[in-house]
Amino acid sequence: MSARVGFIGLGNMGRPMASNLCRKGFAVIVHDVNQEPVDHLRQLGAGCAAGCREIAENSDIVMTMLPDSAAVESVALAPDGVLAHLNPRGLFMDMSTIDPLLTDRLAAAAAVKDIDFVDAPVGRLASHAARGESLFMVGASDAAFARVKPLLDAMGTTIHHCGAAGTGIRTKLVNNYLAIVSCAFNAEAIALSQRFGLSLEKTLDVIHGTTATNGQLKIAWASKVFKGDTDPGFTIDLAHKDLTLIVNAANAAKVPMPIGAAARESFSAARVSGEGTRDFSAMADVLCDAARIPRPRL
């Protein structure tokens, strides 16, 4: 008998991920505070629950994909939440990007109830999730990882088992630190090149032939801001949220993060300017606009 899967959180990432589970034959029951994505999943064959308690009582594995730590804490630890009502020997997998200290608390609370816990934050974008091409960074015991691997395979193409519970979210924070901070320093470098009156094409040719290049500049920006496309894949608001998590987690671990703190303030300034809903590659436009420099375009 296949596992009954509960899925809580049908936002930009959760909706396509849950949709892929339905399309690939899993028995799924869903819940979200917004009705529209619930109706969409119902059309794909999913069951629908009124709340987290109903999800937990009718699932063997519960998955969450939620926007922040507060939402995850409420869904998981409230009296009507998942861990209070999921049966022993069930499994709870959180795929959100949250405070790793909360992840540790969830793992400990699950262990008390003999519930397996997995943290599996997601890499890549909503467009990848829609195609079933997500990347997962998984923290879990070997046995728990084996239980969720078929689900992860249904939603993604790249699954990294990073270690025990808690290692998935910490790997995600390290990865996102590099991706987000590189947007901040790329924006400054590109603005400087345009103020100098340099050819953007030639400048990029030089950069990509040296160790100065990076994936954001070479891959992401080439298909986003340099083409004038700043529709959100990963927003400036989310980048700011993740940098806040990263700096706070580093502070808790007694790791100085002065560059991260400075980069976070760059994203703070962009949000104050009303740019928070744009793609985070739009940091190039934000900085150029502030300095009255033509926006960089190929």
Task: Indicate the pLDDT class of residue 2, thresholds 50, 70 and 90.
Answer: confident
Catalytic residue status for 172: yes
Q: What angle do CA 6, 9, 10 make, to 5 degrees?
A: 105
Alpha-carbon span 106 to 44, nearest angstrom:
31
Query: Catalytic residue among 24, 113, 149, 172, which?
Result: 172
What's the pLDDT score for residue 16? Answer: 98
DSSP-derived letter for residue 230 is -
How far is the CA of 115 from the CAs of 35, 77, 108, 118, 143, in angstroms? Answer: 29, 13, 10, 10, 12
**CB of 103 within 8 A of CB of 87?**
no
List, for residues 56-75, the tens digit of each pLDDT value.
Answer: 999 999 999 999 999 999 99
Residue 178 has pLDDT above 70, yes or no: yes
pLDDT band at 12 (very low <50, low <70, confident <90, very high): very high
DSSP code of residue 1: -
Element (H, E) at 28: strand 27-31
- The backbone torsions φ and ψ at residue 9, rounded to the nearest 5 degrees and listed phi first, read 110, 95
* The predicted structure's pLDDT at residue 27: 96
User: 129: which 2 tokens?
Assistant: 């999730």
- pTM above 0.75? yes
The domains found in the chain, sorted by start residue, are: 4-165 (3.40.50.720), 170-290 (1.10.1040.10)
The per-residue pLDDT for 94 is: 98
User: Which of 83, 85, 79, 119 is CA-nearest to residue 99?
Assistant: 119
Name the percent of the chain in helix, strand, coil, to the closest 5. 55, 15, 30
Kindly state the percentage of the chain with pLDDT values over 70. Answer: 100
Look at residue 1 and tell me whether its pLDDT is greater than 90.
Answer: no
Mean pLDDT of 253-275: 97
Res. 22: pLDDT tops 80? yes
Alpha-carbon dihedral sign for residues 92, 143, 173, 110: positive
Structure tokens at 52: 């987290």
Q: pLDDT confidence of 183, banded at 50, 70, 90?
A: very high
